[in-house]
Amino acid sequence: MLKAVIMDFDGVIIDTEVIWYEVYKDWFHVKKNYELAISEFLVCVGSNYKALFRELEKTKEIYVDEDEFFADTMGMFMDRSNHLPAKEGVIEFIESIKKQNLILLLATSSKRKKPETHLKRLGLINYFDSLITADDVKRIKPFPDLFNLALKTHHVENDAAIVIEDSNNGLIAANKAGIKTIIIPNEVTKYSEFVDYYAKYSSLREVDLVQIKKDFEPKGVK
């Protein structure tokens, strides 16, 4: 029986992934004279920048000073993302979760400050029973630690939860945790090749939570 919904933040609740790609692309163009492709950027979506920087160093011999990069880009990102609305269907979906008396959790590879700030700005933070972030675990996605901690915090079994994700790293993490996943790609992650997911939709507006609850009912239960 479905007891909890676990949502990712970046790219699911607000479209930060597109903003980050634009910021990364602009920085690499100006600082490294390099045109960063979406396919390269996807390495770090749902996880963090280290995977991308390691890959560029290994394959392109492009070396990035992390302190310099974030000193240059963090202000730019905040300026471009401070007024982002919730993505299509997000508010209605979150409201439906609470109407169905389900636990709502956030599990994100981001540090706590960013999702907390945006959820407060959007008036959504009080809907969430817990926020599980990179501050709470040693390993972020694609490792399952964020999801495992979310389940443990509320004593929910992995077969009684469902994850809402936009990235391959998030899907891999959820699969490792043994949780079914709904994929909602964004304008960046739509280029990913997703496999082994429960369902895939273009928007949370298309998700029928009542039907999903029925799918989770034990056989023979009407």
Beta strands in the chain (DSSP E): 4-7, 103-107, 130-132, 161-165, 180-183, 199-200
pTM: 0.87
Using one digit for the tens of pLDDT, what is the confidence trace for 3-25? 999 999 999 999 988 898 999 99
The pLDDT score that the predictor gives to residue 118 is 93
- CATH class entry, domain 4-14+85-216: alpha beta
pLDDT attached to residue 102: 97
**To 10 degrees, what angle do helices 66-81 and 16-32 make?**
140
SS3 of residue 45 by DSSP: coil
Query: Cα separation of 139 and 146, whole Å?
Result: 8
Describe the strand order of the beta sheet including 161-165 as a list of residue ranges: 130-132, 103-107, 4-7, 161-165, 180-183, 199-200
Q: What is the pLDDT of residue 222?
A: 52
Name the burial class of residue 26, with classes exposed (0-12), middle (13-18) and buried (19+) by CB atoms within 10 angstroms of its CB: middle
pLDDT at 47 over 80: no
pLDDT number for residue 220 = 60
**According to the model, what pLDDT value does residue 61 have?**
94
Q: Would you state the structure tokens that stand for residue 57, as one six-digit string?
A: 């160093």
Q: Could you tell me the sign of the dihedral formed by the alpha carbons of 169, 172, 174, 177, in that order?
A: negative
Q: What is the pLDDT of residues 96-154, one digit of tens each?
A: 999 999 999 999 999 999 899 999 999 999 999 999 999 999 999 999 999 999 999 99
72 carries an active-site annotation: no
What's the distance, CA 45 to chain centroid? 8
Examine the pLDDT at 33 and tell me if it is beyond 70.
yes
Phi and psi angles of residue 107, each rounded to the nearest 5 degrees, phi first: -135, 105
- Of 74-88, 140-154, 198-212, give the lowest mean pLDDT range: 74-88
Q: In whole angstroms, what is the distance from residue 154 CA to residue 201 CA?
A: 27
Exactly one of 10, 15, 145, 166 is catalytic; name it: 10
Average model confidence (pLDDT) across the chain: 93
215 part of the active site = no
